[in-house]
Structure 1
Amino acid sequence: MAKDRTEDPEKKEKKSRKSIDGVSKSHKKEKKDKKDKKEKKQKNREEQPTSDAVAGADEDVEMGGTGAAEVAVNGEDEVVKQLVPFADPMATAEETKKILDGVKRASRNRALLTGIKETQKSLRRSSTAATAAPRGILILAADTYPWDIISHMPVLCEDHNTPYIFVRSREELGQAGGSVRMQTSAMMVLAEKGVKKAAKEGEAAKEAVPGELSAEEYKKAYEKLLKVVNKAQDRVKL
């Protein structure tokens, strides 16, 4: 008679538990490894700028964004502005301050044209004669996007003997000129002070504007600004 080989129920239960515990432990270890890898990967991304972050900045420009993108640098967000490659001459910090002050004076004295449409119209109406005095000074914002909306302006200025210069921020330019949109890509400081419209026919307006200059004072302020721009023009790379 064959020996009964039926396994003891108690031993069978212990073996089953051991098998389940082994699978459970293996599963837990695998899950923990995945979690550790994920945390390590996330930490590396936070510590240094990745190619994805840089690609994101370029994508923002191509998709018609503001021309600025946030890139993580040393654990902090830093705004990197995309400037037009043809921004020459570019105003220095000291020159920018003088230019923006000149824009403010021009605005108070009704001698400022705002926006690409207005400045372009004025340029096209200017004389191309080398001896003709320029109608004004063109100031362009180097962080304008898309670039092609102002790319023709420097050439137009040269054709019409008009001095021009770039500043870094269209926001600062817009604020200095009191622009309604607060951001402007182009402004022109006119050589002559504007004249107030008469309140009534044949009667000059008598209301005073804070900071308004006389015609003589404005002329001196304009010539001072012109010297700053002409000096910067000497740095233009041909």
Structure 2
Amino acid sequence: MGKSSKVKESSKSIKHTKEVKDSKKESKEDKSLYEQRLPFVTPFSTPLADKKLNKKLLKLIKKSSKAKDCKRGIKEVIKAVKHNNKGLVVLAGDVFPYDVISHLPVFLEDHNIPYVFIPSKSDLGNACNTKRATSTLFIVPGSNKKGKSDEYKEEYEEVMKLVKTL
């Protein structure tokens, strides 16, 4: 009886080490979330933020949403643009059906407002502290009267430079 229990224990440890090695291989081969979401992006999603800019945008959105300087959703964005607000529009690239946001790039270009696409609407929703996914977001620094836009002003300017180079 003693020998069979030792054999079982050693076989368990061998299985455990194989599982650990397999999980390490999977983590190396595992794609990042950014790369996993790229196949679902609409064909007209240009300019699309690269991985680095995407990360900076999401951080900027978190800070601007804390300062309440964000307009979320298509209706709010269009209304803010019509009221001549200036800022940056972030659009989700995985919106379906396409017709929901297909008119926005032309509308934004007519009003000289910079915009950029990111691959995921769920990331956009999470960044602005909502439970729901968001297809569009308009960052309008200084729109809130409390004046908290100074906290993210440098990041905003840096992101704007990167977006204008796209």
* TM-score, normalization by structure 1: 0.51
Asked if 2 retains the 8 angstrom alpha-carbon contact of 1:114 and 1:179, the reply is: no
1:184 alignment partner AA: T
Asked if 2 retains the 8 angstrom alpha-carbon contact of 1:106 and 1:112, the reply is: yes
Question: Identity over aligned residues, as a percent?
Answer: 36
The structure with more radius of gyration: 1
Q: Structure 2: how far apart are the matches of 1:81 and 1:95?
A: 18
Q: Equivalent residue for 1:177?
A: 128
Q: Which ranges of 4 or more aligned residues in structure 1 deviate by more than 4 Å?
A: 78-81
Q: How far did 1:226 drift?
A: 1.2
Q: What stretches of structure 2 of length at least 5 have no aligned partner?
A: 1-35
Q: Structure 1: how far apart are the matches of 2:97 and 2:140?
A: 26
Matched, 1:135 2:69: no
Matched, 1:224 2:158: yes
Q: Structure 2: how far apart are the matches of 1:229 and 1:88?
A: 11
Q: Equivalent residue for 2:96?
A: 145
Q: How far did 1:215 drift?
A: 4.3
1:175 alignment partner AA: N
Asked if 1 retains the 8 angstrom alpha-carbon contact of 2:60 and 2:152, the reply is: no
1:223 alignment partner AA: E
Classify 1:157/1:110 alpha carbon distance in 2 versus 1 (closer, same or farther; 3 Å). same
Matched, 1:195 2:153: no
The alignment of Structure 1 onto Structure 2 pairs a total of residues equal to 131
Classify 1:178/1:163 alpha carbon distance in 2 versus 1 (closer, same or farther; 3 Å). same
Q: Structure 2: how far apart are the matches of 1:214 and 1:110?
A: 8
Q: How far did 1:195 drift?
A: 2.3
Q: Structure 2: how far apart are the matches of 1:93 and 1:79?
A: 11
Matched, 1:100 2:50: no
Classify 1:145/1:217 alpha carbon distance in 2 versus 1 (closer, same or farther; 3 Å). same
Q: Structure 2: how far apart are the matches of 1:158 and 1:228?
A: 17
1:96 alignment partner AA: N
Asked if 2 retains the 8 angstrom alpha-carbon contact of 1:106 and 1:193, the reply is: no
Please give the secondary structure, in 2, of the residue aligned with 1:218.
helix
Classify 1:221/1:82 alpha carbon distance in 2 versus 1 (closer, same or farther; 3 Å). closer
| Greater helix fraction, Structure 1 or Structure 2 | 2
Classify 1:79/1:118 alpha carbon distance in 2 versus 1 (closer, same or farther; 3 Å). closer
Q: Structure 2: how far apart are the matches of 1:152 and 1:214?
A: 32
1:76-91 aligned at under 5 Å gives the runs: 81-91=39-49
Asked if 1 retains the 8 angstrom alpha-carbon contact of 2:53 and 2:159, the reply is: no
Q: How far did 1:124 drift?
A: 2.2
Asked if 1 retains the 8 angstrom alpha-carbon contact of 2:64 and 2:141, the reply is: no
Q: Deviations over 1:33-71 (max 9, x none)?
A: xxxxxxxxxxxxxxxxxxxxxxxxxxxxxxxxxxxxxxx
Classify 1:122/1:179 alpha carbon distance in 2 versus 1 (closer, same or farther; 3 Å). same
* TM-score, normalization by structure 2: 0.71
Matched, 1:186 2:120: no
Please give the secondary structure, in 2, of the residue aligned with 1:191.
coil
Please give the secondary structure, in 2, of the residue aligned with 1:148.
helix
Q: How far did 1:142 drift?
A: 0.5
Q: Structure 1: how far apart are the matches of 2:48 and 2:38?
A: 17
Classify 1:153/1:80 alpha carbon distance in 2 versus 1 (closer, same or farther; 3 Å). closer
Q: How far did 1:83 drift?
A: 1.9
Q: Structure 1: how far apart are the matches of 2:128 and 2:109?
A: 24
